[in-house]
Structures are given as structure tokens and as C-alpha cells.
Amino acid sequence: MVRGALVALILVTFAATALAAPAGPPIRIGGTLALTGPLAPTALLHKIAGEIYVDELNKGNGLLGRPVEWGLLDDQSKPDLTRSLYEKLITVDKVDLLMGPYATSGILAAMGVAQRYQKVFPHHSFGMPHLAKYEMHFPTAAFGPEPNRTVPTTVFDALAATSNPPKTVAIVTSKFSSAQFQSSGAKEVAEKRGLKVVLYLEYEFGNRDWGALAARVKDANPDFLWIGVLGLDGNQMLEAMKKLDYTPPRHFHLFPAPGPLALAPDAKNALSVTVFEEHPPFMSNAGAAKLVPLFRERATKANVPYPYVETQVAGSWAAWQCLEAAVTATKSLDDKVLAQWLKKNRVDTIIGKLRFDGPNNYGDDLFRVKQVQDGKWVVVWPREFAAPGARLLPP
Amino acid sequence: MPSLTLLGQSVVSGLLAGGLYALLALGLSLSWGLLRLVNLSHFALALLGAYLTYQLGHAFHLAPWLAAGLIVPAFFALGVVLHVVFARFRVTEFTSLLVTFGLAVILESLIQWFWTADYRRYETPWASASIRVGPLFVPTLELLACLTAATLAVATWAWLRFTYVGKALRAAAEDPAMAGAFGVNHRAHAFVLSGISAAYAGVAGAFIALISTLAPAQIWAWLGTVFAVVIIGGLGNPVGALLAGFLIGVSESVTMAVAAPAWAPLVSFSILIGLLVLRPERV
Amino acid sequence: MRQAIGLLAAGLILAMLPLVGLPAFYESFLYLVFHWVALATSWSLLSGYAGYFSFGHGAFFGAGMYTVATLTAGLGAPFLAALPVAAVVATLLSLGIGAVVFRVKRLRGELFGLLTLAITFVLATIVLNTRLDGGPGVYLSNVPLPRLVASPTGTFYLLALGLAVLTLAAAYTITSSRLGLGLFAIHDDEDVAEVEGVPTFAYKLVAFALSAGIAGVAGGIHAMYVSYLTVPDTFSITVPLYVVLMSVLGGARHWLGPAVGAALITASLYAFTGGQQAILGRAVVAFVLILIVLLLPEGLVPAVLRRARGQRGRAADVAVAPILAAAGARTEAPATLDCRDVWRAFGGIQALRGVSLSVAPGEIVALVGPNGSGKTTLINVISGHHAADRGRVELGAATLTGRPAHEIAGLGVSRTYQIPRPFAHFSALDNVALAATFGSARCAPAEARAEARAWLEFTGLGRRAAALPHELNLHERKFLELARALAGRPRVILLDEVLSGLNPGEIASAVHLIRQIRERGVAILFVEHLMRAVLELSDRVVVLNEGEVIAAGGPREAMRAARVIEVYLGKAHVA
């Protein structure tokens, strides 16, 4: 039944494509991504998402009937280069609209430029909401204004609703700015809720010796382990603990590389947070039915090992959706007009309804709790977003 | 006060981490000490070896030791070819930095081209295996890596110490003109050494694939620590590199076990600075 | 001079650029270029010129960044007031490091590189774990940027341009001054440089401080430019690695080299930023860099200059030939060298056991004895290379013991080395000119070169003035040692086996030369194995064995003393 509807939808989309092709001078959207350097693993996903979006726009009616061109530059994971490249996009290439780069440092570097030239600045991967003061930035990493409070609260709520909620917590976090920010918040939230924080450790970003950290966690033997990780640190941590013949009963990973974690043998029942997974009810969000199969196809072709849509890709896609929605609704490319519209309206995106009228242009915290079950991520909390029949599996 | 088990476990973990540093440091130390070439591309070669191990295992289901059996000789040949270029253009210690940096960037691009920038993880059943010794656990793969490092270090030391080729190489490093006068064919031996150095990168790569996670930019992640290990150990001194790896590994690991983990580099590198300033003749 | 005016003019013209109204990107791009010019050039002041290879430039850069961040964002200080503080903090850091490290003779080469790298790690760890950062990073968005010109990018551009011009001016001034000459000598052979009169410790410290201070300012400006600082970005391997690469590419020993390398490498970062060719582009840039270095290993600037000079050079060479030996006419007031009860041990080995001897002006004293008897050690103690454990060495009214070697050289002590140790990258002329600059002669640069030419003529090397040491044969190198020792206008000259390895003809001319030196009223102490020369030349002979004087007196009497025969020929021969 659902599949039938999907096919119909796709057919309609194709039909629409055939009817109207965009014409006129292209609308140029400029942005950078860390295509090389240490941030490249995740930036690659943003590149694929953006390419799909622009291709789809051009297959349809473009923007305002004009074709869209994405001027994508490589900022090489360097904030200083990012800054100057946004200056290039604005002052030399004179692009019509901007799209943000990947990750907090780069976004802050570019936001300053956008502010100076008063450009609308949507972005998709910013982790420190309290630092974003520019009135025309529009974040789609939908943490809400205080993720250090709200994200841990969601996670501890989920745990509290299980049959045997944890009483002791260990928090181990990388000193990577956004991870540390939320992890130190998790400590406060846990303590406020009467949980005992038996271990709180911060390690240097780029750490390679996991044995000592694992031994300390084993020594503390918590009911619940919060790992403030980036990328694959969580896998390494789990493996290191397994080597000590220890598996924490419950473990949470803040910003994991989703694929490798889901597939790791030690990651059974691992928890994380997400704004999108490829199952209901998320699949009925705006654009989900279109993006999921296209992303699978493109990502597989690009040799990406985990070709599924989740937080990063969906956040990226949502940023494009906001830009398109504002342009289409206002029929304008004027930054002030677009910003005004985005501030006043809710945008229906793949990660849900976004609003930008809260503190620092942040809206609701849309992050949900997900868990690895049978080698796949499924959302388990809050209940209304859980995959059909899924619930948080206790240890 | 941390428990004795925790302390013991952290020492084990530090020794094993140090073993991996040493494994990476060996080849670098040899080429720097005996050929006066600072080979930044050593890390890139190691990572290429890791990706190849991953690829052979992942796509062709070739066991890692068989993969290493293919990679190591191939890397030996690669090392020889590299030295042909270095010798042809008379690359010096100073210019070798830039040449091998360029080479590392090319290899990084190559890796990213084939395997994308996305993370790769070689899942094997041995990844979380360990041997139990009393209250302590010794991870199997890390132990194997560490033993390999120790074996290679001692074997290389013996080779340099007792064989003609080894002695000739050391003599040539100390005084090329004099060694040349005694009829030592430095250049031929240099090719062998360059090959061995690259082969060691291949060995290290195989273990990195099994133990660690892969991303192209990781080439640069090891640079600082391994450089330190190479120099503390003494250039061209394989056993020294092994001991230096242990020193850095254990001091960091124990700090992580008893204090705030993020302070770990302060302890290990302060020890190092102290050693350098107070006992430079020992280094 | 022409270069200095050129630099100033280029700086002024470039400073006009923000008025032209170029798109902000170009200012921003040029900001980054000049930022790296300042960083790479500052690195080369110590590491390129003096060869103290630092992997720790990131520490000073980072110290500057976090100083500005802490003062402005944390304490509300204005940006321009914080910049000098950044320089001061980085300078103090380097002085602290240098004051300890430069005293330890072994901490050269790769050990110095390691040390500076380790200091970077330690500093990064401290910043990461204290209030300076603590992990979340420091954001400078609320810090007002002073308006030098209308646009902020223009302001950054002018700041970096100013810093780059100042840095290049400093580099240019240094390379053509005593300091630069001394640093280059340290690069080639630090011990010899010190003995020739270069105050090596002070020079290294000055170069290090200047280098670090400039890096601190560059970091301070860059903190405002990126406006969000994190420890991993700030103390990453990028800065220490890139300054090295830029200097290698451009030529680290030329004042302009690192700047050219910096401009090229920074521009290459932008060469392939287009999203589709980013990966391949990086590989292409890397390949081009490799090609350049393989084909022009000494660096772009020196290679280009050499080629340009190659066409003009030969004509200039001819004009050098006839110069009168005007120099050497004036010598310092003669003085007597006195060693009294000098002791020196190495570990458990007692190399000198109470040696006393004196050499009067115009006297030639030969120091003989079997291998390992302490002859060279005595020369090393007199010249200040080794300190005496006990006893005194005096020259006239001045006490030499306890002084650093460069002061002893300044008081008029010169030496030669048994195996010649010329500065490898200096021409024969420059080798001698260095001694004239730093020895007791203390010539100004131009005067030093004239003086050096005279001494080269004196030793018969006039036509080899432009040759590099490796182009000279042994005899020429020995005579170069002599010329270098004489150029300091010494009152005492210590000759360590100047005759060994020479053929009879060469020995004859050397003997003639030494006699001429004596006629100038110089006191000569010479170590020699060649008995014929000892007997022919010396007024007196001092025989050393196992660190003790076993005989002294006229040449023939001393050599006939019973203990001397015993030492040389064994007991059986003592009749």
C-alpha cells in the first residue's frame, strides 16, 4: 500500500519534470565543504545530499523557474580558508545565495562573512547554538537553543521509561568542542535527576590509546555509559572494553559514524540520537520518500559504505529545503526578505517542522533516541516517533 | 586511589600502544638515521597498507596475514623504486621533507579517490579477543603487533650489528666518504634499506587496519607522536625506537588511568623534555 | 641597499591596494599570503640561518593566538593593545626555552626539533585543560576590530602586510649584518663559530626571540581573522610543517626565500578548491612541488639568483686579482700567553695534569708528545672550547680561564684545526672575513672583506677567494685555516698540526709563512709531529706525556731528555 503510493508519487514527479524545464540565467548558490582533510568523511555525505537536491530542483522547475547552480568549493577542513572562500563566493563569484559549510568551526568562520555582507546563511551541522548570534543564520542541526540540556534530558527520559532504569552513570567525552559541550550538560542533567555520576572523563580529541579509558570504565562499572564521541571513537572504546571482557549494560554515543557503529559486533543495543531514520513515521516527512532511494543510489555509486539517510544527510537536505521554501514563498532572492519569511514561518522539512523564532534563531529540539537493533538503527524514543513495534531494549 | 588491577591494566595497555608507535617508528627511524631521509610519506604508506589489507579482506575475503604476505613484498619493491628517485635526484635531509610531504599528499588523494573520505572499519573476529593473565587482560591483536615490533626491532638491530650489509650501512651513515674509500657500495645497500623501511610500513599498515579505524586524513594523526618516538629512540636505532614507544605509551596510559586523561600528553612530553635537557647524552 | 628600497616601495604600493576597491576576497587571500610570509620568514631567522630546525613554530603562533583571545574576549582589552602582548608572551616563551636549551650543546639538529615539538604538545595540553580554553574553544565575535580602512578584510590585509614587510626587513637586515654572518656560521659549525669569536649563545637567543615574537604577532592577528579558536586547529601540525615546507621550497638561507615559498604554497591551496577536482587537484599541486624541489634542491630564490649571477659572475672574478697586502700592518699590542697548572679531566680520564707553559710575543713554542698526551686538549682549553678544571690561563693582563670562547677570540687568541673545519657554505673569502669580523680585529663588513682578501693573498689563496671549501684541496684548506686564524689579528696563534699531510714543497712554504707570522710579534704555540719542522722552527719545545710536561727547553736539549726518549722509543733505548 505504502509502496504503491510511493511509486505513484515518483511517477508524478517525473511527469512534472517532463512538463516544465527551468529557463533563464541560473540562480547561483555558493558554499564550501571539507572535501579533503580530517572533516572529509562526513562532509562527503553533505556533498551527495546537496548534489541530489540541486539535481532534483533542476529536474523540476528550478527555483523561480530558473535553473540552479551549486558553486561548491573545497575548504580543506581549514577555518581560515573557509572564511576567505566565502568572501570569494560573495565578492568575486557574486553568488545569489549561500549554503553553509560542514561543522562548527567552519560555520562560525563563514557566518562572520555572511553577517558582514548581510547574506541569508542556512547551515546544517553547527553544534554550539549559544555562539551563533547572527540574526540571519538558519540552523537545521535541530538541537534547539540548549542542546546541552535538552538532548541529555531526552536520553535520560528514554532510559527512565525502561523496566530497570540505570542508577549510576559514567560519562567519557572527547574534548571536541560540541561533544564536550553536550557531555558536560549530560553530567548536570544526570545529577539533577538523582543519578550517580561515578565517572566523568574528558580525553584529548585524537586519542589513540583506548585501553586505559576502558579499564577506568570497567573499574567504575556504571549502569549506563555516555560516550561523547565523534566518528569512530565509540567503536574503539567498545572494542577496548570487550578486550577487558567487559561490556557496559547500556551505552550511548553522541555523534557516531552511524554505519560502522551499527555493523560493529560489539555495538549491540548501542544508543544514539537522530533527527531522521529510514522508517515510519519519518518516512512521511516532506521529501523523505524522494531522498531515501536517491541517496542510496548515489551514495552506493560514490562507494560510500553506509548509504542510508540519517542525521547528517537529513540535516543537509533540510537546509536546502528551507532555502527553497523561502525563495518559492517570497518569489525573491533578496536576503532580507528571505530571512524575514524564514523567521516568521515554519518550514516543513525531512526532519519535521522547523522554526527559527527562538533564542539565536533556534527552534525545537528534534533529536530522538535511536538504538542498534539487529544491526540497524531504529528510533525508540519518544514513543510517537518509534519505529513500528520498536521499543528501547533493556540489557 | 586507583586499584592495582587498573594500574596494571593501564601499563599493559600503554606497552601495547607503545608497541604500535614503535612499529610505525621503525621504518622511519631507519631511513632517517641511515639514509638521512626524513620520510613523511612513511605514514601515508602505512595507511595505504592498511587500506589494502582492508580491501583484500573485505572484498576478496583474504585473511590479513595472507594480505600482508602480498603487501609486504610489494612495498619492499615500492621502497626500492622510491630510493631510485631519491638517489637519482640526490635528495638531501632537508629537501626530503618536501618531497616526501608531496608524496604523502599524493597517496592521501589516491586513498580518498579509491576508498572515499568516509570511515572504513575492518571488522574481524579477532578485533576484541584477548588473553587473560591473572586479573589482567592482554588484547591479542595489540600483543601480536607489539611482538612483531619487538621482533623486527631486535632482528633489524642484529642485522645492522652483525652482518656485512648492516655494518656497511652504519659506516656509510657515519662517514659516507670514508666508507666509500673502503669500497663499501653504499648505494646498493641503501636500496635494500629503503625497501625494508617501506616493507615495515606495510606491516604496520596491516596492524593498523586490524586495530584502528581508517580515514584518509589519519595519515597526519600519527605524525607528532611517532616523530617523538623516532628521535628519543635515537635515529637509526631500532631497539631504541621500541623502548621509546614503550616510554611514551606507558606514561600516557598510566596518566589516563590515574588522572584526567586529557592531561596525558603533558606528562609524557614533560618527561621527554626533562630527559632531553638534563640527560641529553642518554638520548 | 637597492633591495631594501625595493622592499619598502613594494610595501607602500601594496598598502594602497585596499583603496582600489578590489573585491574583499583578494584582500583576504593576500592576507593569508602575507600571514604565511611572516610566519615562514620568521621561522627561517633561527631555523634557516642558524640551522636550529624547529618543529615548534606552532607553539609561538598558538601562544600569540591565545594571548589575544584571552585578553580581548576574556578581559575586554582592545585588539591592538593585545597584539604587542602576544609578541611579548611568545618572546618570553622562546627566551625561557632558549636560555635552558641553548646551553646544552647536544640539543642541536633533530633533538632541537623534537624538543620544540614536545613543547608544542605540552603547551597545547595546558591550553586545552585550563581556563585559557578548556575545550569549548574561544569565540571572538564581540571583539571590535579597529578600522584602518573601511573594510575589515582590508584591515587584516594591512596588518599582515605590515608584519610581512617588517619581518622581511628584519630578515634582510640580519642577513647582511654581523648577526646574520654569525648565524650562518653557527649553521655550518657552531663550535668553530664560537672559537672564531661569534657569541653563539646570545646570537641564537636573539634570533629565537625575534622569530618567536613575530610568530606571536602573526598568531594574534590570525586569532581575530578566524575569530573562533580551538586547540586542535591552533596547535595542529599545519603551522610547524608548512613553515618548513615553504622555506625549503623558496630557499631557507636567503632572506626572500621563505617568502617566495609561502606565496607559492598559499596560492596553491586555492588552485583547486573547485568541488569537483578537489582531490585530484591536491595531488597535482603536490606533484608540482615535488618536481620543483627535485630540480631546484637549493630552493627557488637561490637557484634563480645563481643562474642570474652565472652570466655576470665571471667578469667580476677577473677584477679581483691584484690587491696589496695592506692589511696585517696593524697588529694588537703583543702579549705573553701563560698557562699555570692547568688540569682537565674527561669522565675518568685525566687529560691534563697541571700543565704550565708560556709563550712570549714573537716566540715559537712547539708542543710535542705521543698521541693522547693532551696536546689538542690544551689548545682546546686555551681557546675556551673546554673549560679548565683547575689552573689559570692568562694573556698579558687578561685572564682567559672562565671566559666563553668567543671572548677569548676577541682578546686575540686564534687557532687552527688539525683537520680543517671551514664553514662549508662560506666561500674561502667569507670564511676569512668571518674571522676578521668577529676576532679581535672587529672589522666592519666591508673592511673585513678587504682584510680577508689580503690574508688570502698572504697565504697564496688569492685566486681561490670565491671557491667553496669542498672545492679546495687539503693543502689549500690547511692554508685557509691559517688565513682564517690570522684574520682575527691574533696576539697568540695556536696551530694544531698544520703541516701534517702536506708534501715537502708545501711544508717549505708553510714554514716560511709561520716565520713571517712570528715577525709580526705574534706568540705561536704549535702542535706538531713532524720532528724536522719542530727542530727547524721552534725557539723552545714543550714535551707532554699523559697530560704532564715531562721536558721543556731548547729544541735539541728537550728532545734529548731521558724521559722523552723513553716515552717515544721505550725504556730499552735509554742508555
If you search the block for the grid coordinates 622581511, which residue do you land on? C168
DSSP readout, B213-252?
A: -B-GGGGGTSHHHHHHHHHHH-TT-HHHHHHHHHHHHHHH
Grid coordinates in use for B272?
621527554
The answer to whether the beta carbons of residues A63 and A328 sit under 8 Å apart is yes
**pLDDT on residue C123:** 96
Among candidates A203, A205, A213, which has minimal Cα distance to A246? A213
Report the 10 Å Cβ neighbour count for A331.
10
Task: Check pLDDT > 50 for residue A252.
Answer: yes
Report the 10 Å Cβ neighbour count for C291.
13
Query: Would an 8 Å CB–CB cutoff place C280 in contact with chain B?
Result: yes
d(CA B51, CA C447): 63
Per-residue burial over C436-460, b if 16 or more Cβ lie within 10 Å, else e, is: bbbbbbebeeeebbebbbbbbbbbe
* Digit-coded pLDDT (tens) for A52-95: 999 999 999 899 999 999 999 999 999 999 999 999 999 999 99
H or E, element range at C549 = strand C548-553
pTM over 0.95: no
Task: Check pLDDT > 60 for residue C548.
Answer: yes
A vs C: CB pairs below 8 A: 102
Q: Which amino acid is at B20?
A: L
- The domain total for chain C is 2
H or E, element range at A272 = strand A271-274
Cβ within 8 Å, pair B265-A204: yes
* Digit-coded pLDDT (tens) for C227-256: 999 998 899 888 999 999 999 999 999 999
Grid coordinates in use for C489?
689579528
Q: Using CB atoms, which residue from B95, B97, B273 is nearest to C118? A: B273
**SS3 state of residue C77:** coil
Q: What is the mean pLDDT of residues C106-110?
A: 80
Smallest CA–CA distance from A219 into chain B, residue: B6
Subunit partners of chain B (3 or more CB pairs within 8 A): A, C
**pLDDT on residue C275:** 65
**pLDDT on residue C328:** 44
d(CA C102, CA C201): 6
- DSSP 3-state percent helix, strand, coil across chain C (nearest 5): 60, 10, 30
Cβ within 8 Å, pair A84-C228: no
pLDDT band of A216, cuts 50, 70, 90: very high
Task: Check pLDDT > 80 for residue A239.
Answer: yes
CATH number, domain of C300, equals 1.10.3470
Which residues are registered as beta bridge partners of A121?
A137
User: Where do the H-state alpha helices sit in A20-78?
Assistant: 40-59
If you search the block for the grid coordinates 560516550, which residue do you land on? A227
d(CA A134, CA A118): 9
pLDDT band of B279, cuts 50, 70, 90: confident
Per the model's pLDDT, the better-predicted residue between A70 and A15 turns out to be A70
Whether C310 is covered by a domain: the verdict is no
Task: Note whether C167 and C96 are same-domain residues.
Answer: yes
Query: Checking DSSP bridges between strand A137-139 and strand A121-123, what pairing results, if any?
Result: parallel
Query: Would an 8 Å CB–CB cutoff place A80 in contact with chain C?
Result: yes
Question: Residue B18 to residues B25, B26, B231, C236: CA-CA distances in angstroms?
Answer: 10, 12, 14, 22
Task: Check pLDDT > 80 for residue A15.
Answer: no
- Top residue of C93, C123, C248 to mutate, by most chain B CBs within 10 Å, is C248
**pLDDT on residue A2:** 46
pLDDT band of C506, cuts 50, 70, 90: confident
- Report the number of secondary-structure helices (H) and strands (E) in chain B: 11, 2
Cβ within 8 Å, pair B106-C294: no
DSSP readout, B167-195?
A: HHHHHHHH-HHHHHHTT--HHHHHHHHHH
Residues in chain A closer than 8 A to B217 (CB atoms)? 36-38, 40, 77
Task: Check pLDDT > 60 for residue C6.
Answer: yes
Percent residues over pLDDT 70 in chain B: 95
**pLDDT on residue C139:** 92
**pLDDT on residue C322:** 35
CA distance B122 to chain A (A): 9
* Digit-coded pLDDT (tens) for A191-209: 999 999 999 999 988 888 8
Domains A2-142+280-364 and A147-274+369-385 share a fold: yes
Cβ within 8 Å, pair A205-C232: yes
Task: Check pLDDT > 70 for residue B232.
Answer: yes
pLDDT band of C12, cuts 50, 70, 90: confident
Percent residues over pLDDT 90 in chain B: 58
Query: Would an 8 Å CB–CB cutoff place B177 in contact with chain C?
Result: no
Task: Note whether C267 and C366 are same-domain residues.
Answer: no
Residues in chain B closer than 8 A to C249 (CB atoms)? 98
Can you give A197-214 as a three-state secondary structure string?
A: EEEEEEECCCCCCCHHHH
Query: Would an 8 Å CB–CB cutoff place B37 in contact with chain C?
Result: no
Among candidates C90, C117, C123, C74, which has minimal Cα distance to C218? C90
**SS3 state of residue C189:** coil
E strand intervals along C94-171: 138-139
Task: Check pLDDT > 60 for residue A19.
Answer: no
Task: Check pLDDT > 90 for residue B152.
Answer: yes
Subunit partners of chain A (3 or more CB pairs within 8 A): B, C
Within 8 A by CB and 6+ apart from C305, the residues are C254
pLDDT band of C313, cuts 50, 70, 90: very low
CATH architecture of the domain A147-274+369-385 equals: 3-Layer(aba) Sandwich (3.40)
Q: Using CB atoms, which residue from A74, A105, A112 is nearest to C233? A: A105
* Digit-coded pLDDT (tens) for C122-167: 999 999 999 999 888 999 988 898 888 878 899 999 999 999 999 9
CATH architecture of the domain A2-142+280-364 equals: 3-Layer(aba) Sandwich (3.40)
Whether C323 is covered by a domain: the verdict is no
Grid coordinates in use for A395?
540489557
If you search the block for the grid coordinates 614503550, which residue do you land on? B246
Cβ within 8 Å, pair B91-C297: yes
Smallest CA–CA distance from A199 into chain B, residue: B260
Grid coordinates in use for A10?
515518483
Q: What is the DSSP letter of C355?
A: E
As a residue count, chain B comes to: 283
**pLDDT on residue B174:** 77
Q: Which domain holds residue C97?
A: 25-304
- Top residue of B256, B258, B268 to mutate, by most chain A CBs within 10 Å, is B256
Q: What is the mean pLDDT of residues B234-241?
A: 92
Q: What is the mean pLDDT of residues C269-292?
A: 85
Grid coordinates in use for A270?
548501542
Query: Would an 8 Å CB–CB cutoff place B103 in contact with chain C?
Result: yes
Q: What is the mean pLDDT of residues B72-82?
A: 96
User: Could you say which residues from 220 to 279 on chain B have a Cβ atom under 8 Å away from some Cβ of chain C?
Assistant: 220, 223-224, 227-228, 231-232, 235, 260, 262-266, 269-270, 272-273, 276-277
Grid coordinates in use for A182?
553536550
Question: Residue A215 to residues A191, A235, A240, B106: CA-CA distances in angstroms?
Answer: 23, 15, 8, 39
Query: Would an 8 Å CB–CB cutoff place B215 in contact with chain A?
Result: yes
Cβ within 8 Å, pair C25-A177: no
Within 8 A by CB and 6+ apart from A387, the residues are A277, A279, A280, A378, A379, A380
CATH number, domain of C503, equals 3.40.50.300
Query: Would an 8 Å CB–CB cutoff place A46 in contact with chain C?
Result: no
Percent residues over pLDDT 70 in chain C: 94
**SS3 state of residue A340:** helix
* Digit-coded pLDDT (tens) for C190-237: 999 999 999 999 999 999 999 999 999 999 999 999 999 999 889 988
Rg of chain C over Cα atoms, rounded to whole angstroms, equals 28
* Stretch among B51-55, B163-167, C249-253, C321-325 having the lowest mean pLDDT: C321-325
B vs C: CB pairs below 8 A: 122
**pLDDT on residue A208:** 83
Cβ within 8 Å, pair C225-A92: no
* Digit-coded pLDDT (tens) for C64-83: 999 999 999 989 999 999 99
Whether C174 is covered by a domain: the verdict is yes
Smallest CA–CA distance from A134 into chain C, residue: C141
Query: Would an 8 Å CB–CB cutoff place A268 in contact with chain B?
Result: no
Residues in chain B closer than 8 A to C55 (CB atoms)? 227
CA distance B4 to chain A (A): 11
Cβ within 8 Å, pair B266-C249: no
CA distance A36 to chain C (A): 7
Query: Would an 8 Å CB–CB cutoff place A90 in contact with chain C?
Result: yes
d(CA C125, CA B268): 11
Task: Check pLDDT > 90 for residue B16.
Answer: yes
**pLDDT on residue B223:** 85
Query: Would an 8 Å CB–CB cutoff place A375 in contact with chain B?
Result: no
Task: Check pLDDT > 50 for residue B150.
Answer: yes
**pLDDT on residue C321:** 34
Among candidates B119, A111, A309, which has minimal Cα distance to C141? A111
* Domain end marker among C253, C285, C304: C304
Task: Check pLDDT > 50 for residue C25.
Answer: yes
Query: Would an 8 Å CB–CB cutoff place A215 in contact with chain B?
Result: yes
**pLDDT on residue A17:** 47
**pLDDT on residue A20:** 60
Task: Check pLDDT > 50 for residue C1.
Answer: yes
Task: Check pLDDT > 60 for residue B50.
Answer: yes
Question: Residue A67 to residues A24, A55, A298, C10: CA-CA distances in angstroms?
Answer: 7, 10, 21, 45
* Digit-coded pLDDT (tens) for C422-464: 999 999 999 999 999 998 878 887 888 888 999 999 888 989 9
Q: What is the mean pLDDT of residues C548-553?
A: 89
**pLDDT on residue A317:** 96
As a residue count, chain C comes to: 575
**pLDDT on residue B183:** 63
Q: What is the mean pLDDT of residues A30-45?
A: 93
Cβ within 8 Å, pair B224-C101: no
Residues in chain B closer than 8 A to A260 (CB atoms)? 119-121, 213
Q: Using CB atoms, which residue from C100, C114, C279 is nearest to B112? A: C279
Query: Would an 8 Å CB–CB cutoff place A301 in contact with chain B?
Result: no
Task: Check pLDDT > 90 for residue C169.
Answer: yes
Residues in chain B closer than 8 A to A232 (CB atoms)? 119, 121, 213
Q: Where are the domains of chain A?
A: 2-142+280-364, 147-274+369-385
Describe the strand order of the beta sheet including C548-553 as a list of residue ranges: C413-415, C492-496, C523-527, C364-368, C540-545, C548-553
ipTM value for the complex: 0.89
CA distance C467 to chain A (A): 46
Task: Check pLDDT > 60 for residue B125.
Answer: yes
Whether C245 is covered by a domain: the verdict is yes
CA distance A207 to chain B (A): 9
Please report, to the nearest 10 degrees, the dihedral formed by the alpha carbons of residues C221, C226, C230, C231 taken in order.
-40
Subunit partners of chain C (3 or more CB pairs within 8 A): A, B
DSSP readout, A273-315?
A: EES--SSTTGGGSTTHHHHHHHHHHHHHHTT-S-----HHHHH
Whether C108 is covered by a domain: the verdict is yes
pLDDT band of A337, cuts 50, 70, 90: very high
A137 phi, psi to nearest 5 deg: -95, 145
d(CA C568, CA C198): 39
**pLDDT on residue B184:** 62
**pLDDT on residue A5:** 52
Task: Note whether C380 and C246 are same-domain residues.
Answer: no
Q: Using CB atoms, which residue from A44, A211, A266 is nearest to B128? A: A266
Q: What is the mean pLDDT of residues C289-312?
A: 85
Task: Check pLDDT > 50 for residue B149.
Answer: yes
**pLDDT on residue C569:** 65
Residues in chain B closer than 8 A to A306 (CB atoms)? 118
**SS3 state of residue B260:** coil
Instruction: Work out the angle at residue A252's Cα, subtended by the Cα atoms of residues A249 and A256, and round it to the nearest 5 degrees.
Output: 135
Task: Check pLDDT > 50 for residue C316.
Answer: no
The answer to whether the beta carbons of residues A134 and A114 sit under 8 Å apart is yes
User: Could you say which residues from 99 to 138 on chain A have a Cβ atom under 8 Å away from some Cβ of chain B?
Assistant: none
**pLDDT on residue C557:** 83
Q: What is the mean pLDDT of residues C376-380?
A: 93
